[in-house]
Structure 1
Amino acid sequence: MELDIVSLSRLQFALTALYHFLFVPLTLGLSVLLAIMETVYVMTGRLIWRQMTKFWGTLFGINFVLGVATGIVMEFQFGMNWSYYSHYVGDIFGAPLAIEGLMAFFLEATFVGLFFFGWDRLSKVGHLIATYAVAAGSNFSALWILIANGWMQNPVGSQFNPQTMRMEVADFYEVLFNSVAQAKFVHTVSAGYVAASFFVLGVSAWYMLKGRHIELAKRSMTVAASFGLAASLSVVVLGDESGYLSSEHQKMKLAAIEAMWETEPAPAAFTLFGIPDQAARETRYAIRIPWVMGLIGTRTLTEEIPGIKEQVDLAKLRIEQGIQAFDALQKIRAAGSTTAIPEDVRNAFEENGTRLGYALLLKRYVDDPRTATPEQIEKAAWDTVPMVAPLFWTFRIMVGLGMLFILLSATFFALSSLRKLDRYPWLLKVAVAFIILPWIAIECGWFVAEYGRQPWIIEGVLPTAAAVSDLGVTTVLLTIIGFVAIYTTLLIIELKLMLRAIRKGPEPDDEPEAQLAPAQLVAAE
């Protein structure tokens, strides 16, 4: 990677986002699992379920604090490293972030305190309401963040104002109910539920292997396996919906994920294996499954999925239209007032204004897009193609892990139903070893989503290179080193606190049922 300001700013945001999202999935999933466990406690009065809620709540609390600390920095970066982006789309992008802080984060933070300190101060039902509020706040927080992110992927409900040189809200309802944002939200939270389920499964399996807190471990595994199986299945279904929406709004991303250089007759085949060659613009040693990609991407047998080369040709046409929009924009700004704008100029901008972002791709090669040569337009058009090989393989790692999660959660669900969770120690060891895998899948998913829409920071509207702040390379490089050092330290601290809490287990005074003799325990059941 070249040490230029754009690449370094992208790297900094990518690293802080990846670190932050190590904590978010567990917060999303554990908050719901806590609500489920406490609901059983309130309904049955069994103290073992209170013990479970408090124990897993301790781990939730450790993770929650680190998630908040790393998330705040990300929002500051929009002003620090991406100042022109903040200026250009602040009227739209800022609204969901503000609502997230006011509605979701405050709700979550307030009721987290009641969850931890309200056990002896609130009634059972009152405390349960607080727990559900924590879960709701966590998920609402993700909703508003993903509405903002979804708008970057599919910028609906907005329009460019040539007088202010900014994007402005035209229809907030459309921004709010953006189909891409809604699909990303349900897919992301379901992935968080899978991560939390496998975390609970793994920790509980470790207790069973050690012969400690067996009753807590078995019940926790039963809840986690059931919840994890449902979440794993939903991730696949909702991921399919995200892929389908990509075929509508981000065709280049979909073609790059499939390493589909040429448009194939419908329905397109799915490339199970291959080695994409960006330089030669082909995929070598491809193993294809007929029809599958066409069915997934279009849900029809007749609709084509355009290949990369065809979309590059379309990008060249859009760049030429963008140049016309850029020319009209300069004339509008030179006119000074709306009454002085010639009718033909106004019409030219209205006709081509949505392609203005494509003209900005030429800024990499020429100061004034109107002076671009055909060769520069060709280069800018090929810039719309992300690196294919990383997307191709990352997507397949994510999908492969998703299938594995369904298999493993279904296995533990069946063993739980048959009351044979302790029958196969090797499976318990697998559950412990696989704790980390959901996080790998989630980080792969974010890589596909964000890297796949390059070179756009806002799809088709604003190139990433045009959105960056005017900072020195040394400044950004030093902040990257600082962030990595601090975040790595925070991650190590969290892991140590988590491991200490897990080794310690539930508080002894929260285990009244564990103090009973075996005969009494059977009677209590």
Structure 2
Amino acid sequence: MEAGVIDLSRLQFALTALYHFLFVPLTLGMSFMLVIMESVYVMTNRPIWRVITRFWGKLFGINFVLGVATGLTMEFQFGTNWSYFSHYAGDIFGAPLAIEGLMAFFLEATMVGVMFFGWGRMSKLAHLIVTFLVALGTNLSAVWILIANGWMQNPVGATFNPETMRMEVSDFGQVLFNPIAQAKFVHTVSAGYVCASVFVLAISAFYLLRGRWVNVARRSMVVAAAFGLASSLSVVVLGDESGYALTDNQKMKLAAIEAAWHTAPAPAGITLVGWPDVHARTTRYSVEVPWVLGLIATRSLDKEVTGMSELVLKAQERISSGVIAYDAVQQLKRDPANVAERARFELHKRDLGYALLLKRHVADPRMASPQLIAATAWDVVPNVPLMFWAFRTMAFIGFYMIALFATAFVLASTRRHDRTRWFLKLALFSLPLPWVAIELGWVLAEVGRQPWAIDGVLPTFLASSSLTRGMLWTTIVGFTALYGTMAVIEVRLMLASIRKGPFEHGEDHAEDGGFGPGIPPASPPASPPVTPLTA
């Protein structure tokens, strides 16, 4: 395989995945915000809430189409760019993706058409149920996608079969109820709800600053403030739960996030800021808060948080054990009925993936020297500076979101949210922050798993297809051009809809003060004097 093919394959998938996830969180959050808005319309029967629901539904629809279009290419890349991964783990990884398409995507794709074209063709309650089904289907999609991704982070419920040389399902229940997948789902969808809340808050603030469609913007902001406050609080709480899940299942990722080079005495302190020095394997200029990391990661004051150096020593032991499993597999390929080799494999099979790390340096892992095994063990450490700063940036934005929505909620409760201009400007400029945090979250999840395509099972450098650098550069340039064009189209459509405002042609603006754009109507002309002729 050409040099650089693995890095280019990862770059292409990262670009398409991060671009796709610009649309997914807004779809997740907006779907349930539409349910809330339409529920108010059904309960109050006030036409302005119908206008509000249809307006935000139009922006949801534009975003939904782009999310579907960009998601399709990602699924194909598992076959085109990561064919050995698909062969090695397709029995497990493919099942959640297939269920997602059959159960969730078909539901949301069907109901979204009914939602858009069903206005006036069904009862209000029936249309609300359809909107809820769209939201349900959208969030069910996230469930199954994150089950698949969670299995890559924590491959439970599967085992390696030396006869087929593939991973196979041993307990599908463990795959479904994987603790990493559960933590990722609730954290991810909550982040999507925050994203949608900021989107509604910012556009409503823009209208209020311009004095346009004031009553629509005021009501939309109230929904965004309440929904956003609950969601931002849940993101932080559920993010804490994700950190606790890492303690049991991804210790190296947790240590890299905290730049914990060595195991500290319990309870460990959390590093607020610092400068991770990879060469010296220390964190310079660190500022720590005592006990906090121990409480977050272990829920106790007497348990340790294992450092990277100690985890590397464990990886070294697992590589040596994996070499034994690798040798047993080679023997079983020649003699599948060999009972002794089967028993030896069963004893060490959990570490087989660690032996495969040696293939980056030597064709046959059994030929690796102790010195090579010790050096290879450090390959399990991800990019520590990137992990360290990505997490802290994401966490800062998370707490900022709580402060933003708490302020919005207080102002909305006191009915000052439509005239507090400093807050309206702050809300408008906060629009991109949830996307920054969400993309950094995926960087943490995926970079933190390296060097594994499947944690502890299949190294990334073995998972790719047999491609050339020319092929990959061609597709990267092509995807960049295509996605760039799609981004321009989406932004223009969004801006055009926002400029046009919430009212359709012929809709009654009476509940918005009698004038949609917020411009007072002209004074009526004076009546002509009544004369006997005109009378």
Tell me the TM-score normalized by structure 2.
Answer: 0.95
Give the direction of change, closer, same or farther, for the CA distance of 1:191–1:515 in structure 2 (3 Å limit).
Answer: closer
- 1:134 corresponds in structure 2 to 134
Indicate the percent of aligned positions where both proteins have the same amino acid. Answer: 62
Given that 2:216 and 2:512 are in contact with CA atoms closer than 8 Å, whether structure 1 keeps it comes out as no
How many angstroms apart in 2 are the aligned matches of 1:295 and 1:12? 38
Equivalent residues in 2 for 1:382-397, closer than 5 Å: 382-397=378-393
Tell me if structure 2 keeps the 8 A contact 1:142–1:185: yes
Q: May I ask how many residue pairs the two structures share in their alignment?
A: 513
Aligned to 1:373: 369
Unaligned runs of 5+ in 2: 516-535
Contact 1:272 1:288 (C-alpha < 8 Å) held by counterparts? yes
Larger CA Rg, structure 1 vs 2 = 2
Q: 1:124 to 1:307 in 2, by over 3 A?
A: same
Question: What is residue 8 of structure 2 aligned with on the other side?
Answer: 8
Task: Tell me: CA distance 1:3–1:344, structure 2 relative to 1, closer, same or farther (3 Å).
Answer: closer
1:220 counterpart residue number? 220
User: 2:397 & 2:43 partners in 1: Cα distance?
Assistant: 36
1:117-152 deviation line (CA, Å, top 9, x unaligned): 000111111111110000001000011000000000
Shift of 1:516: 5.8
Aligned to 1:294: 294
How far the C-alpha of 1:4 sits from its partner, in A, is 0.7
Q: What SS is found at the alignment partner of 1:22?
A: coil
3-state SS in 1 of match to 2:164: coil
In the alignment, what sits opposite 1:475? Answer: 471
Superposition deviation, residue 241 in structure 1: 0.6
Q: Who is 1:491 aligned against?
A: 487
Give the structure with the larger helix fraction: 1
Residues 153-172 of structure 1 correspond to what in structure 2 (within 5 A)? 153-172=153-172
2:507 to 510, 514, 520: 510
Paired residue secondary structure (1:160): strand
Partner of 1:70: 70
**Residue number among 351, 357, 377 corresponding to 1:355 in the alignment:** 351
* 2:522 paired residue number: none
Measured after TM superposition, the shift of residue 465 of structure 1 is 0.6
1:270-311 Cα offsets, whole Å, 9 max, x none, are 011110011111111111111111111111001101100000
Q: Is the 8 A contact 2:48 2:512 kept in 1?
A: no
Alpha-carbon distance in structure 1 between the residues aligned to 2:288 and 2:487: 41
Other structure's SS at 1:509 match: coil
Matches within 5 A, 1:95-114: 95-114=95-114
Are positions 1:413 and 2:445 aligned together? no
Residues 150 and 178 in structure 1, CA contact (< 8 A), matched pair in contact too: yes
Q: Distance in 2 between matches of 1:176 and 1:366?
A: 36
Residue 35 of structure 1 corresponds to 35
Name the residue aligned to 2:418.
Answer: 422
Q: Distance in 2 between matches of 1:345 and 1:42?
A: 68
Whether contact under 8 Å (1:47, 1:512) holds in the other structure is no
Could you say what the CA RMSD is over the residues aligned between the two structures, in angstroms? 1.1
Contact 2:215 2:513 in 1 (8 A): no
Which residue of the partner structure matches residue 91 of structure 2?
91
Aligned match of 2:231: 231
Aligned counterparts of 1:292 and 1:515: Cα–Cα separation in 2: 50
2:182 equivalent in structure 1: 182
Question: What is the letter of the counterpart of residue 466 of structure 2?
Answer: D
* Residues 52-77 of structure 1 deviation map (CA, whole Å, 9 limit, x = unaligned): 00000000000000000000000000
Q: Which runs of 5+ in 1 are unaligned?
A: 519-525
SS in 2 for 1:229: helix
Q: Which amino acid is 1:148 matched to?
A: A
In the alignment, the residues of structure 1 paired with residue 266 and residue 25 of structure 2 have an alpha-carbon distance, to the nearest angstrom, of: 37
Residue 450 in structure 1 maps to residue 446 in structure 2: yes
Q: C-alpha distance in 2, partners of 1:355/1:463?
A: 12
After the TM superposition, which of the residue ranges 499-508 and 326-335 deviates more from structure 2?
499-508
Q: Is the Cα contact below 8 Å between 2:153 and 2:455 reproduced in 1?
A: yes
- SS of equivalent residue, structure 1 residue 273: strand
Q: Is the 8 A contact 2:214 2:512 kept in 1?
A: no
Kindly tell me: are residues 377 and 515 of structure 1, through their superposed partners in 2, closer, same or farther at Cα, counting changes over 3 Å?
closer
Tell me, what secondary structure is at the counterpart of 1:510? coil
State the shift of 1:3 in Å.
5.9
Gap change, CA 1:83 and 1:515, over 3 Å in 2: closer
Bigger mean CA deviation after superposition, 423-432 or 135-144 = 423-432
- Report the Cα distance in structure 1 between the residues aligned to 2:513 and 2:462, rounded to whole angstroms: 68
Preserved CA contact (<8 Å) 1:51 1:511: no
